[in-house]
Structure 1
Amino acid sequence: MLPTTLSPVPLVPEISLYLVTQPVGLFDLTGGEFHSDQPPPFWAFAWAGGQSLARYLLDHPAEVAGRRVLDVATGSGVAAIAAAHCGAAAVACTDIDPAAVEAAHRNASANGLSLAVHLDDPQVVLAGDVFYSPTVAPRMTTELRGFQRAGATVLVGDPGRGFFPERLFELVAEYVVPVPAALEDTETLTTGVWRMRSPRNKL
């Protein structure tokens, strides 16, 4: 694990995460290189999409209270932790990086909460900042549509990444999210929380 500090999340100060607090970007932590066999440490930052989802859930706990929730591409786990905080019946998280899942569980424990190891048939699926590349976006779209077809509510946090399929979603909330300038080349990102449309309502 990288050296991290337990810090309140800027948009969601009710939650604290173990984060990299020094002014560095994502690939500064990998020697400036991307290695396909070792994902960069997305989990070491509170990304705008996850922060916005967490804020939305804490402001609208009925979205997840008493329901089974899955946070995909969890990163730091901030959205999963917010769901658990809101009284979800069970919350699990997944990520291509095992270190992210480990970080999410560690962060949940730091907030006096716990996440499930596995979850079948989620009723709510969360995804923060998952449409960040032309290769990842189509795979995430297919996965999220699969969850929706199975009956789940799908909520996505997206700060205007270029590959977000907006036509498949409706905007339910919007936040101005503080972010590290070294990470995003700006100090704030306007970030939407979006609900996936049912197929009959697609534009």
Structure 2
Amino acid sequence: MNRGLLICLRGKDLLRKSTRAVQHKIIRHYNCEAESEIKRFIAENTEIVRDQSLTPEISLRLFTVKCRFWTERPELWPFPDPFWAIYWPGGQALARHLLNNPELSAGRKVLDLGCGCGASAIAAKLSGAAHVVANDTDPVAAIATKMNCELNGLEPLPCVTENLIGSEPENWDLILLGDMFYEETLIDSLHNWLNKCVKLQRTQILIGDPGRAQFESHEIKKLLYEEAQFDLPDSVREENYGLTNSTVWSYRPEN
């Protein structure tokens, strides 16, 4: 694996399919690992990255060229789908937008849906959010998020690993979604659930995406309004096969 390939695969949803064949071999370890062992794996197999993104204020533990699993064969990974080890371009734009506009999250109750490495949740907390919950169905992502919180001088944020898409909407003031719009079925589910959150709870929704084909062609795009656009750093462009910028959108189905 290399990091650029992983990004390409996520856009096509092929990484999940490629690991499915070997998942039966690793799922036992995945479920039985103690949290301390997972923390040790993350600490030993990631690099602390700060300056190579849109948010140099935030430090994150990520896979880089210096890390073993940058090039390791997927069947040797101890955990499936290491999306938590990548700082995706949509999440970078979203976190940058929050840091630039702290009033968006200050004093508010915020959910970071599909948090991955936790950057958007961290940006919301650094911007003064009253309560932030990070959500990812991958338990390893939850642990990585907590470690990244500590790396940035924050108490570990609450992390929920249940699939919240389709659940009864809670009274979130703000829901953040970075790089979640990469598969049509998932986009359909998100569209329905986000619409319900807005109608029942008047929740504000912010979405970060670099312009993936599935996102650009979906009908949800008609309900989005551009809030900010950011040029990606050269290193991020190189890893994303020609993507040059990333955009933050607000989801407003009632407009």
Q: Is the partner of 2:229 in helix, strand or coil? A: strand
Mapping for residues 106-185 of structure 1, pairs under 5 Å: 106-114=147-155, 115-117=157-159, 120-149=170-199, 150-164=201-215, 165-178=220-233, 179=236, 181-182=238-239, 184-185=240-241
Opposite residue 129 of structure 1, the aligned amino acid is: D
User: Deviation of residue 79 (structure 1)?
Assistant: 0.5
**CA shift digits 1:4-61 (9 cap, x unpaired):** 011115110000000111189x99666289xxxx751111010001100110010000
Instruction: Give the counterpart letter for 1:185 in structure 2.
Output: Y
**Offset at residue 108 of structure 1 (A):** 0.9
TM-score (norm 2): 0.69
Structure 2 spans left out of the alignment, 5+ residues? 1-40, 161-169
**% identical equivalent positions:** 38
Aligned residues: 193
Report the CA distance shift for 1:76/1:174 in structure 2 as closer, same or farther (over 3 A).
same
SS in 2 for 1:194: strand
Distance 1:185 1:152, change over 3 A: same
Distance in 2 separating the partners of 1:58 and 1:65? 10
Contact 1:23-1:180 at 8 Å conserved across structures? no
Cα shift at 1:143: 2.5
Q: CA-to-partner distance for each residue in 1:65-110, whole Å, 9 max, x for gaps? A: 0000000000111100000000000111111211111111110111
What does 1:17-36 align with in structure 2 at a 5 Å threshold? 17-22=60-65, 31=74
Question: Aligned in 2, Cα 1:4/1:192: closer, same or farther, shift over 3 Å?
Answer: same
**What is the deviation of 1:135?**
2.3
Instruction: Please report how far the alpha carbon of residue 161 of structure 1 lies from its aligned counterpart in structure 2 after TM superposition.
Output: 1.1
Change (3 A) 1:161 1:29: farther
For 1:91, the equivalent position in structure 2 comes to: 132
State the secondary structure of the residue aligned to 1:163: helix
Instruction: Report the structure, 1 or 2, having the larger helix content.
Output: 2
Separation in 2, partners of 1:39, 1:107: 20
Give the number of the structure whose residues are more often strand, by fraction. Answer: 1
Q: Please provide the CA RMSD for this pair.
A: 2.5
- Specify the code of the residue in structure 1 equivalent to 2:158: A
Runs of 4+ more than 3 Å apart: 26-30
Q: Find the residue that maps to 2:232 and give its secondary structure.
A: strand
In structure 2, relative to structure 1, the CA distance for the partners of 1:23 and 1:180 (3 Å cut) is farther
CA offset at residue 177 of structure 1? Answer: 1.9
One-letter code of the match for 2:226? L
2:248 maps to 1:189: no
Structure 1 CA distance for aligned equivalents of residues 126 and 175 of structure 2: 16
Structure 1 segment 41-120 matched on structure 2, within 5 A: 41-114=82-155, 115-117=157-159, 120=170
Q: Which residue of 1 aligns with 2:165?
A: none
CA separation of 1:173/1:180 partners in 2, compared to 1, >3 Å: closer, same or farther? closer
8 Å CA contact 1:71, 1:79 repeated in 2: yes
What SS class does the counterpart of residue 194 from structure 2 fall into? helix
The letter for the 2-side match of 1:5 is E
Q: Distance in 1 between matches of 2:210 and 2:175?
A: 18
Amino acid at match of 2:250: R
**Which 5+ residue runs of structure 1 have no aligned equivalent?**
none
Secondary structure in 1 matching 2:177: strand
TM-score by length of 1: 0.85
Query: What is the Cα deviation at residue 142 of structure 1?
Result: 2.1
In structure 1, distance between residues paired with 2:186 and 2:177 = 13
